Amino acid sequence: MTGFLGTGNMGGAIINGMLSSDILKPSCITVYDADPKASERFLKLGCCIARNEATLAELCDIIFLCIKPQVFPDVLAKLSSLDLSDKLIVTIAAGVPTAKIRSLLGQQVKIIRVMPNAPLMVSKGASAIYAPDTVEEDKKRFVIDVFSKLGVVSLIDESQMNEIVCVNGSSPAYVYYFVDAMVESAVSQGIDRDEAFKLICAVFEGSIEMLRNSSLSPKELIKMVCSPGGTTIESIKCFDADNVYKTIDDAMKACTKRSYELGAD
């Protein structure tokens, strides 16, 4: 039995991915959420609902912790009296290292850390996974397969888990931020909002496809689009004048800093 503590956006996306790809049948999934309404939809799909956190942990061999880092102490305190030595915990929380989870539980337990991202909800996610050798191969493969069905997977060492948050975990917000700024500028110049949004989304999709399929680097592709004396180079000059590269670097490092702070709280 596989269990989910937390059935919000991420937890729900992982469950839906398991069901839609036939990785598990609904009857093999048990869920618990502090908000009963959050888990009701999975009951309708045929999943089981646990009475509380401890009941779920007792029933399940693999436990997905899909809860916010701030509530880890309270939730794990409710599991600390149980023997979890034969369980696997899968955590998607930013900034919470395996050592802290074991400390909160007061015992040794097998843990896989995953840093997924929001596009998981449309099966286009990018998930970084730390899966140590202490985890049984079949369970490790199960977790990797789950996230592979929901997008791209990269296996990394735990020492990189805080740094990876800014690369794939938080970064969808950077894209949304840039799209929003472009749409607002287009509207201010008289372009219809819906038409601007449609075109800009297509630009991002097509540009990413070019990056994937081209032998050119991002810098080389920028140069390719920037004809001397043309329109695009004027935009790039504005970015360079405002040192946008440094702004992005600062933003990503601020994200990493917060990841470390969450682990220390």
Residues sharing a CB contact under 8 Å with residue 261, sequence separation 6 or more, in sequence order: 95
Helix, strand, coil shares of the chain, percent, nearest 5, are 60, 15, 30
Q: Which residues of the chain have pLDDT under 50?
A: none
* The dihedral formed by the CA atoms of 14, 19, 23 and 24, expressed in degrees to the nearest 10: 100
Cβ atoms 102, 111 nearer than 8 A: yes
pLDDT in tens, 102-115: 999 999 999 999 99
Residues of the chain with CATH 1.10.3730.10: 172-264
Place of tokens 């690369």: 167
Report the distance separating Cα 17 and Cα 33, nearest Å.
Answer: 18
Q: What is the pLDDT of residue 264?
A: 85
Q: What is the pLDDT of residue 188?
A: 98
Residues of the chain with CATH 3.40.50.720: 2-161
CA-only gyration radius of the chain, Å: 21
Q: What is the pLDDT of residue 101?
A: 97
Select from 169, 175, 178 the least CA-distant residue to 151: 169
Please state, as a whole number, how many other Cβ atoms lie within 10 Å of the Cβ of residue 249: 12
Q: What is the pLDDT of residue 265?
A: 75
Which amino acid is located at 173 in the chain?
Answer: A
112: tokens are: 């896989």
Q: What is the pLDDT of residue 263?
A: 87
The CATH number of domain 172-264 is 3.30.365.10: no
Report the distance separating Cα 248 and Cα 245, nearest Å.
Answer: 5
Question: Which CATH code is given to the segment(s) 2-161?
Answer: 3.40.50.720
pLDDT in tens, 136-191: 999 999 999 999 999 999 999 999 999 999 999 999 999 999 999 999 999 999 99
Place of tokens 């680097």: 217
